[in-house]
């Protein structure tokens, strides 16, 4: 079963997922690069030793170094020794020239019991004069080299790689957004589709082949769905139309039976079936209705005509219809659609809200109509369901199909109006329909 997305769903979008994956890839690449740097240095102990001496020399204050000094940590896990060196004759640590000797930097690492010993010669400047210092480091393990490796990672990995990775990530994010833009447009079009309007399709321009294929597949599915719904509506309307005559004949035939409970029950059942068939036919017509460019109609005139045509029906149900004209009831609508709205709301009140008080029908003030009854009303938990097709609440009387209010909702939507349900003080139910004002024409 496909999981349904609710409004405001917080799951990450495709763009965010791709961007996160690119960021993870960049991070993994950086970690691999760091691993290569660490492995390279660990496999070259002589280079590590040289870098360690260079780092230590950069920290030395020339004024604090005398002929000989030592430094060690609190746990004696390593020890530094510094010795000032005078120019040497030709020999170890010096190069020969014509008539003189010159010292050079050198580094030596050797294993000793319990660790290693690193010795070397480095030059320093003090008071504008160059002098040389001999360094010895005695330690064990990799901890003394942690700062050396860390500096190398910062200088040769972080500084060049981080800006480059951020630029690449930004570029990739922009590129992904540009590629996915047609998909976002298709998503927005799909969200704005009105299920009640057939023939709607998705449209994207300059989209990649995969997105174009997806949109074409969806449009094909929409087209098949429209055909299926159209076939179903046509069948419903055709079946309802064809059943009207046989049901009328059955009602006449039932009237010829001897008076009694059986004839009454049969007649009531046939009337219920006739009402259901009439509503199915009206629903099929309402679903196929396209109400474009509505004219100006007077809601009061239409309401009076409908009330007059339903007085006998109300009287047969021991009900009374009262019409109120509050004036200024012109609206942008179609008279046939408004007539059906009046008829279904009144029919709903007659059939589902029996009461000894009259059903109040009104038009105005402004482009609105309302129908109120004083029946048992509708429970708050059922208010969101009353306009659903074939829905019947617990207060509904037998014989109803739950189509009347569904027809009203479809007609009102086609007219770009709004239908609301109210539970007024004093009991009962009030349905109000607002139409577009003539000022908007």
| pLDDT-based confidence at residue 383 (cuts at 50, 70, 90) | confident
Centroid of chain to Cα 366: 39
Strand partners, 34: none
b/e map 63-74, b = 16+ CB within 10 Å: eebeeeeeeeee
Mean pLDDT, residues 311-319 taken together: 86
Task: Label each residue of 341-362 as H, E or C.
Answer: HHHHHHHHHHHHCCCCCCEEEE
Which residues neighbour 219 within 8 Å (Cβ) at sequence distance 6 or greater? 201, 202
244-290 pLDDT tens trace: 667 677 777 777 778 888 778 877 777 767 666 666 666 655 555 55
Per-residue pLDDT, 306: 92
**Assign residue 228 a region: left if phi > 0, alpha if psi is -120 to 50, beta otherwise?**
alpha
Model-wide pTM > 0.75: no
pLDDT category of residue 433 using cuts at 50, 70 and 90: very high
Q: What CA–CA distance (Å, rounded) separates 415 from 337?
A: 8
Q: Which domains does the chain have, with CATH numbers?
A: 12-192 (no CATH), 195-288 (1.10.287), 291-440 (3.30.565.10)
- Mean pLDDT across the chain: 78
Q: What pLDDT does residue 83 have?
A: 84
pLDDT at residue 90 in the model: 43
Task: Give the helix ranges, DSSP H, for 192-260.
Answer: 209-255
* Among 145, 143, 147, 158, residue whose Cα is nearest residue 34: 158
Least confident segment among 192-201, 242-251, 338-347: 242-251
Phi–psi pair at 391, nearest 5 degrees = -85, 135
Q: What per-residue confidence (pLDDT) applies to 368?
A: 94
Residue % of the chain over a pLDDT of 90: 13
The pLDDT value given to residue 376: 81
Sign of CA pseudo-dihedral 140, 143, 147, 151: positive
How far is it between the farthest Cα atoms of the chain? Answer: 149
Which is more confidently placed, 306 or 294?
306
Arithmetic mean of pLDDT, 68-92: 68
Q: What is the model's pLDDT at position 281?
A: 61
Measured in degrees and rounded to the nearest 5, phi and psi for residue 76 equal 55, 30
pLDDT band at residue 324 using 50, 70 and 90 as cut-offs: very high
Peptide linkage before 91 cis (omega within 30 of 0)? no
d(CA 69, CA 136): 11
pLDDT tens by residue, 96-126: 444 445 678 899 999 988 888 999 998 887 7
Residues of the chain with pLDDT > 70: what percent?
77
CA distance 114 to 111: 8
pLDDT band at residue 305, thresholds of 50, 70 and 90? very high
Distance CA 259, CA 430 (A): 39
Which pLDDT belongs to residue 276? 65
Residue-level pLDDT at 390: 55
d(CA 328, CA 330): 6
Distance CA 247, CA 155 (A): 92
Question: CB neighbours of 369 closer than 8 A, spacing ≥ 6?
Answer: 299, 303, 329, 338, 341, 342, 361, 362, 363, 432, 433
Cα-Cα-Cα-Cα dihedral of 182, 183, 187, 190, to 10°?
A: 70
Distance between terminal CA atoms of the chain?
Answer: 47
pLDDT for residue 244: 63
List the 321-325 sheet strands across, edge first.
321-325, 359-363, 368-373, 429-434, 418-422
């Amino acid at each position: 079963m496909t999981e349904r997305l609710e409004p405001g769903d917080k799951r990450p979008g495709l763009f965010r997922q791709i961007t996160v994956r690119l960021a993870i890839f960049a991070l993994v690449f950086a970690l691999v690069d760091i691993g290569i740097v660490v492995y390279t240095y660990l496999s070259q102990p002589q280079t590590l030793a040289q870098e360690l001496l260079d780092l230590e020399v950069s920290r030395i204050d020339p004024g604090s170094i005398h002929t000989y000094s030592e430094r060690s940590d609190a746990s004696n896990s390593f020890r530094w020794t510094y010795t000032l060196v005078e120019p040497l004759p030709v020999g170890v640590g010096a190069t020969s020239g014509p008539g003189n000797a010159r010292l050079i930097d050198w580094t030596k690492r050797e294993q000793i019991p319990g660790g290693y010993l690193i010795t070397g010669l480095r030059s320093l400047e003090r008071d504008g004069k160059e002098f040389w210092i001999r360094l010895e480091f005695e330690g064990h393990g990799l901890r003394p080299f942690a700062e050396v490796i860390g500096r190398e990672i910062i200088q040769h990995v972080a500084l060049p790689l981080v800006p480059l990775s951020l630029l690449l990530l930004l570029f990739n994010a922009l590129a992904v957004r540009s590629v996915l833009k047609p998909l976002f447009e298709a998503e927005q079009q799909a969200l704005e589709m009105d299920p009640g309007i057939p023939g709607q399709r998705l449209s994207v321009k300059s989209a990649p082949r995969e997105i174009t294929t997806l949109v074409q597949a969806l449009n094909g599915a929409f087209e098949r769905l429209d055909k299926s719904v159209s076939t179903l509506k046509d069948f419903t309307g055709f079946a309802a139309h064809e059943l009207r005559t046989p049901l009328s004949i059955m009602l006449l035939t039932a009237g010829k039976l001897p008076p009694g409970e059986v004839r009454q029950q049969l007649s009531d059942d046939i009337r219920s079936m006739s009402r259901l068939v009439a509503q199915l036919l009206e629903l099929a017509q309402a679903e196929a209705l396209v109400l474009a460019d509505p004219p100006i109609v007077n809601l009061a005139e239409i309401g009076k005509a409908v009330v007059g045509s339903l007085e006998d029906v109300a009287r047969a149900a021991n009900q009374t219809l009262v019409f109120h004209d509050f004036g200024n009831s012109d609206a942008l609508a179609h008279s046939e659609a408004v007539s059906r709205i009046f008829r279904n709301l009144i029919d709903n009140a007659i059939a589902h809200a029996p009461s000894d008080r009259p059903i109040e029908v009104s038009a105005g003030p402004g482009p609105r109509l309302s129908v109120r009854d004083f029946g048992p009303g509708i429970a708050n938990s059922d208010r969101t369901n009353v306009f659903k097709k074939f829905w019947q609440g617990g207060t509904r009387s037998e014989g109803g199909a739950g189509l009347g209010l569904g027809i009203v909702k479809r007609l009102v939507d086609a007219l770009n109006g709004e239908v609301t349900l109210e539970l007024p003080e004093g009991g009962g139910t009030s349905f109000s329909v607002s139409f577009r004002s003539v000022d908007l024409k």
